[in-house]
Amino acid sequence: VSFEVKFVFRCETMTTGTRRQCVAAATALLSVLSSATCFGWVTPILVDLLGPDSEVPMTEIESSWMISLIEIGNLLSPILAGYLADRWGRKPCILATGPLYILSWVIVFRTSTVEALYVVRIMQGAIMGCVLTVVPIYLAEIASPSIRGSIMCSSYIAWFFGYLFEYSVGPFVPYRTFTAITAIWPVLLTLLFPWQPESPYYLVMRKRNVEAKKSLSVLRRLPVTSEEVLKEFGEIATTLKNKEETSWNDLIKSRSNRRNLCVVFFVGFVAMLSGGYALMSYSSHIFTSTDITFVHPDLITIFLGGFLLITSIFSSVFVDRLGRRPLLLISSTGCTVSLLSSTAYFLFNFDSSQHGWMLVLSMLSYFIFWSFGLVPVYFTYQSELFSSTSRGVASSIIAFVITIYAFINLKFYFPITENLGFSTLFGFYSVVCLTGMIGIYLIAPETKGKSLLEIQNGPGKPEIKQREDVTNNVL
């Protein structure tokens, strides 16, 4: 799993505890990588699936349903996943996704009908909903404040590596071989993740204090009785003291939670409806449809995947140096300019044989800016802006809403391009990014370098001082 360890170069001193947190995060992120391959699996084989010699014959409309139905499945599980994460634990929920993903790829391997693919895509979406709800919670709760932003952004290093892996393998191997290779990642998850510790926050929530201190000891590589472990245990206990698990009504009644939900909904709206996932899923179709011939569409797609991965690695470095707001503003501004360039390319009907490089360059630029800020900071906000007692419910609601955004984005690609043209599609994406740039400037908070307790206290509120007393009371 060397790809995921790339994010650790942000961890300046690379202490033993830092390395241990990175290992735990990397193995959990195998579930994110497995989810990304479900999206990326379609892209390199889409043109072949629509061709006369398809392994699974389908029309363009059927393919749009096949691609977008994964988001219908994603709607089904976040609320249940959030509930189970608070009842059973973060670790069991993540671990369960491995065998389920393996089963889904076995079905794909053995089927040859589009209807069976519909069922599998819904199943994979439901598993993905669990991953995208629980993994951010787990990562935020195991990470030290100094590297939490980097570890959270590493989620998208894993995500974009999953895309790049599929883009790089899919064009060069047969359909069923490609499917079997894709199943490697959930197998690794099933084998490696059982050895990782449970979230200390969850253990304190369940009043399993001895296990919580052992978990902190493992993650920080310090003795259970060390001052650092006891201090952090006290902070966790302070955060959770006198707080019952939050219900939906409790979440909405809290002014700070309502504000934070609006922030995450808005950043997610811009990240999803600016076109990123649709353009990634349909990139080979875009380049084939526009008759770009100076380089093969499959190679362009591989280059896009490579730049997505590289940029996400850099974002994991800068998120804890520049901060969340600067990354979002740089990202939304760059995306707006890039999408306006793509809109102009289609609006003025540039000759693809002479000017096709303009479209490739503008889309490449968009993906660089999109993966640099909008995507990783959205993921980071989802984990940072809510307390441990409300994080499960909040993640469920957020995943549900973001899934609706993603479904709209994926499903309406073909209807818009066939009836209104590519210029309308890219024009809409441009408007979303421009709106996002203004909204982010007005409402996006800065959480760089703050502990989860400081973030929950909010700006201008004094940090709670009774950590030592709380620690003594709960021992």
Amino acid letter, 37:
T
320/406 same-domain check: yes
Q: pLDDT at position 457, please?
A: 59
Q: pLDDT at position 64, please?
A: 85
In 14-32, which positions are buried (b, 16+ CB within 10 angstroms) versus exposed (e)?
A: eeebbebbbbbbbbbbbbb
151/282 same-domain check: no
Q: pLDDT at position 16, please?
A: 64
94/155 same-domain check: yes
Quote the CA–CA distance of 125 and 402 in Å, as a whole number: 13
Our count of domains for the chain comes to: 3
DSSP string computed for 371-435: IIIIHHHHHHHHHHSS-HHHHHHHHHHHHHHHHHHHHHHHHTHHHHHHHT-HHHHHHHHHHHHHH
> Which backbone phi and psi does 211 adopt, to 5 degrees?
-65, -35
149/264 same-domain check: no
212/358 same-domain check: no
Q: What is the mean pLDDT of the chain?
A: 82
Residue 228's domain spans which residues? 205-241
Q: pLDDT at position 246, please?
A: 55
CATH of residue 119: 1.20.1250.20
Task: Give the distance, in angstroms, between the CA of residue 318 and the centroid of all CA atoms in the same chain.
Answer: 18
Q: pLDDT at position 341, please?
A: 93
Give per-10-residue mean pLDDT for the chain (475 aa). Answer: 42 63 91 93 86 86 88 84 87 95 94 91 93 88 78 81 91 92 96 92 86 86 81 79 59 77 90 86 78 74 83 74 86 94 88 78 90 83 74 77 85 86 92 93 80 60 41 44
Amino acid letter, 49:
L
58-405-248 Cα angle (round to 5): 130
Per residue in 293-328, pLDDT tens?
667 777 888 888 888 888 877 777 777 677 888 889
* Tokens matching residue 372: 């640099």
Q: pLDDT at position 179, please?
A: 94
186/266 same-domain check: no
218/160 same-domain check: no
The answer to whether residue 178 is domain-embedded is: yes
The answer to whether residue 400 is domain-embedded is: yes
Of 428, 425, 447, 424, the C-alpha closest to 436 is 428
Q: pLDDT at position 281, please?
A: 79
144/213 same-domain check: no
74/25 same-domain check: yes
DSSP 8-state code for residue 372: I
349/434 same-domain check: yes
Of 398, 430, 418, 300, the C-alpha closest to 74 is 398
Q: pLDDT at position 90, please?
A: 92
The answer to whether residue 463 is domain-embedded is: no
The answer to whether residue 7 is domain-embedded is: no
List Cα–Cα distances, 170 to 250, 257, 284, 287, 308, in angstroms: 47, 43, 12, 17, 17
